[in-house]
């Protein structure tokens, strides 16, 4: 008996902008002030909300940094190490590491999966990791830190730009220093092709599958918006170690993490945010400055867009009436306040601090695609109302509600009771009456499922760390006919899909399709999907 897996990646690269000074004839040095101490509180992410996902499935962090396995975490370091191994080929003699803070001229050979350029040392024994570069660039870099097979660097100057670099595309004055975006100097088509390659490398390096069992990677679907698309930002500022801010204390830097450093870069505006989020950012900066003495320590600010939609009927030709609407968008800063998101004509209400996809412009196209992948092939030409849908990691019900049309029954499962409450309200709000939502126990997440496996599709959208072995074992035992796996970390998705295909319990999953959607243009994070079925 065989069934199928369909994998879907939200393709994006998720870091933030850098400083680009157009008054300079060449790329402005990334680190103008090398005397600043490299200290400060490490940020819990890039400040764009990548890790603010709320309560999710738990998994032990026991990852190997050398050999991808089920314990692989898909961390930045692990992914980089795989790229370094791929670039250097067979192990060579160990070269002499360059002096820290020395400057080297290099030619960029490849664009890594982490979004940084990669250059091979002149003796072929080491890789230099260079941010904000393109294959074909000739650059001068400063060595920051050495590892056994690679060196982290700062970009000092682009001596000769690659034919693929177009500096006129850069739209943010912080690009080159902020850790949010890596690709503003690259055309959109180039970014999409690179992200497709990243998906392919993830399957090669992290799935442990025979290449013959991996289908060709589909094209990455572009985002309708290349800037002004993020409906959520989480800038940060650091505070004193003790005692809080005193009256008259200097205002700290408010913004996002400085690329390659552990302190905050002061940022006044982020053009990948929507207009309402950008306006909210300015207001919050002013609020912090005027009320700094009320903060006992540093803080992470929440900027989340909410949409109020007003419908107005219009007469068309005097006979038919069509309904138009007006959207009024504002920024919410209270994590407990409710926000409204619209995916096409579907309405979602959830707490501002909860997880929801951050690029609304691509969501309608994406959810329609996911719904298509959830259809069970053997029911083609028959009434699809015979089938069932399970939405694991359901959150506030995005896939249950947007993709559940035509299913006989829908079950959404999450371990967050707050998410389940939101999902139930959203189903009622949208007139969905064949869905139920339950708070699952991680030890027996599918205990209440009574759907026939051969007529059941499952969609999963786990956090970046992927699924744990306990969850995947229960999924295999459930044995749904079709599985669509959605992820913003293609490396943990490749690991999980490989595990599902290699395990079995008397059934075998085949991968039908792998592709990506560019949820985060200009950044190196990507969202992906995989779809498959049991045979």
C-alpha triplet 359, 362, 363: angle, nearest 5°:
85
Q: Where are the alpha helices (DSSP H) in 126-272?
A: 188-206
The 8-class DSSP code of residue 180 comes to B
Report the run of H or E that residue 81 belongs to, with start and end: helix 76-88
Residue 531: name the closest of 487, 471, 477 by CA.
487
Cα separation of the two ends of the chain: 4
Active-site position among 270, 394, 467, 488: 488
Edge-to-edge strand order for the sheet containing 103-107? 103-107, 138-146, 150-160, 127-130, 117-120, 110-111
Tell me if 388 is assigned to a ligand binding site: no
Assign residue 504 a region: left if phi > 0, alpha if psi is -120 to 50, beta otherwise? Answer: left
* Residue 77, φ and ψ in degrees, nearest 5: -65, -40
Distance CA 474, CA 459 (A): 14
- On the 0-12 / 13-18 / 19+ scale of CB atoms within 10 A, 416 is buried
Hey, which bits of 317-442 come out as E strands? 320-332, 338-343, 346-351, 388-392, 409-414, 435-439
HSE, CB side, 13 Å, CA atoms: give it for residue 521: 27
Distance CA 394, CA 430 (A): 16
Task: Name residues whose C-beta falls within 8 Å of residue 87's C-beta, 6 or more positions apart in sequence.
Answer: 109, 110, 118, 120, 127
75-81, long-range: CB < 8 A, 24+ apart: 76/114, 78/491, 79/112, 79/113, 79/114, 79/491, 80/112, 80/113, 80/114, 80/116, 80/129, 80/150, 81/149, 81/150
Q: Tell me, yes or no, if 488 is annotated catalytic.
A: yes
Joined tokens for residue 10:
């939200």
Tell me if 269 is assigned to a ligand binding site: no
Q: Which residues pair with 6 in a beta bridge?
A: 484, 513
Tell me if 448 is assigned to a ligand binding site: no
3-class secondary structure per residue, 353-380: CCCCCCEHHHHHHHHHHHHHHHCCHHHC
- Determine the distance from the C-alpha atom of residue 285 to the mean position of all C-alpha atoms in its chain, rounded to a whole number: 26
Tell me if 393 is assigned to a ligand binding site: yes
Catalytic machinery residues: 488
Give the residue ranges of the annotated binding site for S-adenosyl-L-methionine.
357, 393, 414, 461
């Amino acid at each position: 008996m065989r069934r199928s897996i369909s994998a879907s990646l939200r393709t994006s690269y998720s870091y933030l902008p850098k400083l680009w000074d157009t008054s300079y004839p060449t790329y402005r040095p990334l680190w103008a002030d090398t005397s600043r101490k490299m200290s400060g509180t490490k940020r819990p992410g890039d400040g764009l909300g990548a890790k603010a996902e709320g309560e999710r499935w738990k998994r032990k962090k026991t990852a190997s940094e050398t050999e991808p396995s089920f314990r692989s975490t898909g961390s930045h370091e692990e992914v980089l190490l795989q790229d370094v191994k791929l670039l250097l080929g067979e192990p060579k003699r160990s070269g002499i590491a360059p002096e820290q803070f020395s400057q080297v001229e290099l030619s960029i050979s490849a664009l890594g999966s982490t979004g940084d350029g990669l250059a091979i040392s002149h003796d072929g024994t080491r890789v230099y990791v260079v941010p904000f570069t393109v294959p074909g660039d000739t650059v001068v870099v400063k060595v920051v830190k050495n590892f056994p097979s690679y060196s982290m660097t700062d970009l000092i100057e682009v001596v000769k730009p690659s034919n693929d670099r177009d500096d006129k595309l850069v739209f943010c004055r912080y690009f080159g220093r902020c850790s949010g975006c890596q690709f503003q100097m690259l055309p959109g088509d180039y970014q999409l092709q690179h992200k497709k390659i990243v998906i392919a490398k993830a399957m090669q390096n992290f799935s442990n599958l025979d290449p013959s069992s991996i289908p060709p990677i589909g094209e990455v679907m572009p985002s309708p918006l290349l800037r002004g698309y993020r409906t959520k930002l989480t800038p940060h500022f650091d505070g004193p170690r003790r005692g809080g801010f005193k009256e008259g204390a200097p205002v700290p830097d408010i913004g996002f993490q400085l690329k390659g450093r552990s302190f905050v870069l002061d940022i006044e505006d982020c053009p990948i945010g929507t207009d309402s989020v950008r306006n909210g950012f300015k207001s919050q900066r002013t609020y912090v400055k005027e009320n700094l003495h009320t903060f006992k320590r540093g803080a992470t600010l929440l900027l989340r867009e909410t949409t109020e939609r007003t419908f107005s009927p219009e007469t068309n030709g005097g006979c038919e009436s069509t309904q138009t609407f007006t959207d009024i968008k504002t920024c919410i800063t209270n994590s407990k306040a409710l926000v409204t998101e619209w995916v096409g004509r579907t309405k979602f209400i959830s707490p501002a601090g909860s997880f929801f996809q951050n690029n609304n412009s691509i969501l309608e196209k994406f959810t329609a695609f996911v719904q298509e992948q959830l259809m069970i092939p053997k029911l083609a030409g028959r009434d699809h109302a015979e089938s069932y849908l399970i939405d694991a990691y359901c959150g506030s019900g995005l896939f249950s509600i947007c993709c559940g049309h035509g299913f006989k029954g829908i079950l959404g499962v999450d371990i967050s009771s707050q998410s389940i409450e939101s999902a139930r309200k959203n189903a009622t709000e949208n007139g969905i009456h064949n869905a139920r939502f339950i708070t699952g126990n991680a030890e027996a997440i599918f205990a209440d499922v009574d759907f026939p496996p051969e007529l059941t599709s499952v969609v999963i959208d786990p956090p970046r760390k992927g699924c744990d072995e306990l969850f995947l074992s229960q999924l295999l035992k459930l044995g749904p006919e079709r599985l669509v796996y959605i992820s913003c970390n293609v490396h943990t998705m490749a690991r999980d899909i490989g595990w599902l295909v290699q395990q079995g319990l008397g059934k075998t999953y085949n991968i039908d399709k792998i592709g990506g959607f560019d949820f985060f243009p200009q950044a190196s994070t990507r969202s992906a999907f995989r779809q498959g079925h049991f045979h």
